[in-house]
Amino acid sequence: MRRESCPACKGEGAKPGTKKIKCPECEGAGQTRTMGGFFTISRTCARCGGEGRVIQTPCSNCRGKGLVRAERKIHVKVPEGADTGLRLRVAGEGETGARGGRSGDLYVDISVAPDEMFERHGNDLVCGVPISFAQAALGAEIEVPTLNGKVKMKVPAGTQSGKFFRIRGKGMPDVHGYGRGDELVRVIVETPSGLNAKQKRLLEEFAQACGENVNPFSRSFMQKVKKLFK
């Protein structure tokens, strides 16, 4: 919502078909003078505001103000890489000046809505990708979403849940044109659920066969606990 020139009176404030008349207060000078001893003090005319003319018959559409409130939609080009807090200046799309004066500028403050897939950190993007227990243990090639479509990424054998992998150049473009950020892929190892009897038996056999030898983090943690309570 902004103030624009009244379409009926073209911003003049006078009723269409009528004209402004010379201000009777300042006689068109736009200023009034007051004698004070040896000095003459000039002031802007309070009645005409210094214009020298006054409206005799006000425009009924704008009530003599020359401006009306209007709502308009405009197209604003948002640059690549724009982030929350960026302010864009659109010249000439602000409010119109009084009596047909030059229009001001419009300032648009950008606020970026959060995304379900990506989390932004500067020009870098963080994306969580689920992988299976088998993929984490044995290694695999998985598909990872990016802003420009899916890409393939290798997950090495023995990958732990929460590990980050960097894909260079797949982040956000820099708003000033200095290249692109990276995408950081955080792998999340999913625990299988809803197992049938055969699957449970196989996992139990796997656990018995492994012991502590294939769980380096658990083994290290238990060693620290033992030292603490010695």
Partners of 125 in beta bridges: 120, 183
Indicate if the pLDDT at residue 217 is higher than 70. no
- Is 200 within the bounds of a domain? no
- Is 146 within the bounds of a domain? yes
Whether 39 and 88 have beta carbons less than 8 Å apart is answered as no
Amino acid identity, residue 91? A
CA pair distance 139, 210, nearest whole angstrom: 18
Among residues of the chain, what percentage have pLDDT more than 90? Answer: 47
Q: Mean per-residue pLDDT for 15-38?
A: 86
- Is 36 within the bounds of a domain? no
Structural domain of 158: 118-191
Indicate if the pLDDT at residue 203 is higher than 80. yes
Confidence of residue 175 (pLDDT cuts 50, 70, 90): very high
- Is 60 within the bounds of a domain? no
Residue-by-residue DSSP string for 43-86: EE-TTTTTSSEE-SSB-TTTTTSSEEEE------PPPTT--TT-
- Is 25 within the bounds of a domain? no
Domain count within the chain: 1
- Is 16 within the bounds of a domain? no
- Is 175 within the bounds of a domain? yes
Residue 3: the pLDDT is 86
Indicate if the pLDDT at residue 97 is higher than 60. yes
Residue 169's CATH number: 2.60.260.20
- Is 90 within the bounds of a domain? no
Residue 209: the pLDDT is 83
pLDDT tens-digit map of 28-78: 888 988 877 678 888 899 888 888 889 889 999 988 888 888 888 889 999
Distance of CA 10 to the CA centre of its chain: 37
